[in-house]
Structure 1
């Protein structure tokens, strides 16, 4: 459309103002001259001409039907877009047409006309949706919404000048895009029938997707629509969360009864992952958070107690690290770690108590406890993230069950160490032995009766040192340093003294062998250990008649040598058991063990009649004239009897006596400091200071003993109060 033909412009087509010789400028002003301008050749200087600019004498007027006719052009374009038909005019021409109307102050009317036109179209679309069947309803809504968005984008591009100069700058007027959203919200989604069908359809699609079907594209489109028209929270969110909670309420109840616990845990994890990724980017963050919380509540929190009681012990027994790790992660999501740790502690106490309380398992108890502890440590580290909660539960429960059988675990731990530190133990390398000692020390920490351990450990250490049975003095010293670091120097003072005595004895024997006295008994390999009485276990005195000196080629213990020398005087005749016992005066059990080593061992220097592996008091013995051996010097090992009940009782009696002394010393120490204490406070302080478990009745007996011996006295006015007697 040329400028000259536009109704806005008046005057002649040539562009001249009527009645003038001037030209019309683009600003509507005429340029006139007082005399005509002539073209002449450049022959001399021309006079200067003055130009006078004047306004139009008549203001241009718009035709009366200009607005209506112009709107019809735009209306046809809008209707063509809404009906998906070709637009006759170019978008540029339509844009210019809108711009011209706005320049002429028709923006308000133009906005109203456009709003009415869009509203009419949306109403017709809504009417069509109401007539759709259930099957194709959601697809129809999706299509209608997509078409509406596309149409509003094209319409806005035509009316962009109106949008920028009128809508954006006028208070209370929506932009063209917001106008389209508002009309769709009011006319389509505020319809109760459409809104309920859309919501019900979306929830049904989500349930179908949860059941394995693929419907994501349609759901996401409808969610975008609700979000764009700001009806997501008011229409969708609450019903969606309620439907999700109901869905998992039913499914969780079915699954927990038909699946094993590991299967249920994996099912719950899979559902949580699915819901976390469902419609990512289309659900609000708050909705996703509430959705996950709903799933956790229905699948985990609701059934926490049930699945723990149903399957935790079995998973622990199977040592299924993957399932335990998953269990921990799921319980952490619903604040269920306290309950998980409670069941973990119950399992530790139940299983551990079964190991400790059964006397038939004493021989393997320490090995089983070490294996049990190693497995629990792996579970806490690998599955429970080294949580302080579970570390503390493990410590408390292990300490609780291992002390249910008083004193016995301490005794067995000491014997286990003796077995590992003996020279006959060749199953372990130095590194493995060191690792075993470290693991045993962990068990030792849980034991309350450490004085019981000390007594048995000291007795076994004495045998290893005196009989030269230690596998490695480095290992012995290493264990000693571990005990010292764990319990303090007071615990290991006597043990360290035993090693010092052995070193001193070696020095004494070196000096003795280099002395003249040793030369007088050449041929006799004599080894003597000088021991500090307070450091070593006490043994009952043994009496024996030592025979005269003679030539000896055998390396024997004292009792073996006494018996062997008796046969120097007999010649070819034999000696009965009773004769040997009478001549040697050796205690019968020790004599039987000695004769068994001489007549039934690897090197048989005596012949026993009748032949058997056991020695009885009716047997007779004579020197073995046919004895031969390839070695010049032969060591005949003593046979060590298995630990007897009497020996155990003796050790326990010594422990009891030592404990009495420790209790007495503790009472005197406390009372000397406090001068006066009630019975309750004194008992409480004793429990804190004593390193072993003891009954309050035993403490009361020791207090009475101290009163009888005038260390304490009762208060004359209050007999429950004790006073220290200086």
Structure 2
């Protein structure tokens, strides 16, 4: 009977005392350091007093309190009272946290601060179990980049980043709670490195390479390896200009030979042999990089380009007929599409029931173009109606043909109104479908957008990432971040500003995976197998009878692309099965020890 009453009265006395302490912190105190010192003194006195009280009431603490699990110990009761009546006060907590952040910011600015005061106060927040929610979140938000990239050269900036990482690690050891280390270092890496990867590379990588700045390049590599996607960005930057640099070098050598050596044939041949030697050392990679380079140029510069120009004729003349037939077909499709659209616009100009949408359709022949996986998305009723009108018009002129809409290739120009004024947004069809939703509501979740548009998950995430996380952020995302996660919400950004009237919002490009590279290599071989077959037949018609090893050797001399011996063997077997050639009857096996001889078969 005595113990409950005693514990209750003890708690009441302690609570009255703690409540009386709050008054000193509610006074206006312009000096943050004095306020923090007063808070620290109050905390230290409170701890000493609670230690003394616990010693006096040790028997109560070890018997009655220990037997009642619902009651906090005398020490925990003291922490609870201090947390509830002092540190949980909004004004007091705000002043305390802001004061601590101010001291940390001063230290980052090379000012001397009382580290023992910081250590004591942060230990107090940890003991009171408010460190993470009250301090750490705000501390990480305040740990942002100081926008030094524009002011400093890359080596100097990298040294600054390394020093900041070292200093923040030292702060964790000296006075921050150890639980802050991982998020703090990650925050510094993201703010100082992750958000400036492209700027660092564009501003300094070429310069460091040209001057052979090995220590600075080593430091860049080490820092980039700490950030997600850092090394990939470094590789991409190093790789993206390789073809253009090679072409520039070729132009430079051509100019020297023409001007200095008067196009001497021996110099020309020597240069040609040199280029052939180093390019052919890597069988497929140069061809792959050149193909991607040409693709990027055609994508960027083919608007309004017409056949018959000197550039186009020169391109065709430099390639074999086998490689240009599809390319010619592509340009022919584009020319025919223009004529079709002229007639279609004349067809619909008197139909007043159609929405005011300026529709342009390109009719692509499937045999000329790459294959694309169709994706069924939810278009607006106005767009569906216009599609049906075009389908009826086109099939009426081309009976028996079939149209398949490729939504992944569609794009649009939208007119948007922002506080700054009207803008035109050049977007993909998927981006358009997402943006049109915000005519109806101000906010949508990822799941709601997915349901309304019908865009598949991975494609939708990339689309939203381009609209809310790219350079032109016409949407805002919560919570903030560079990746689109489940549960994210999106709001139209009415405060969006841009110096241009028409803004192109690029889609986020997916990196080519290993599986896609293997698949591409296989498709390339499928295209090349007919050339291999033709070369085999051509050689055998000329030689009539030939041994396996000699045939393979002849093929390597004639083919202008790398091919594996196993693939050659498969093509030879295929021609034998189709009766284009036959094995010598006296030698029926194919092996390196006992190679076959082959005969041609004439029809």
Q: What range is the shorter-chain TM-score in? A: 0.3 to 0.5
TM-score, length of structure 2 as denominator length: 0.45
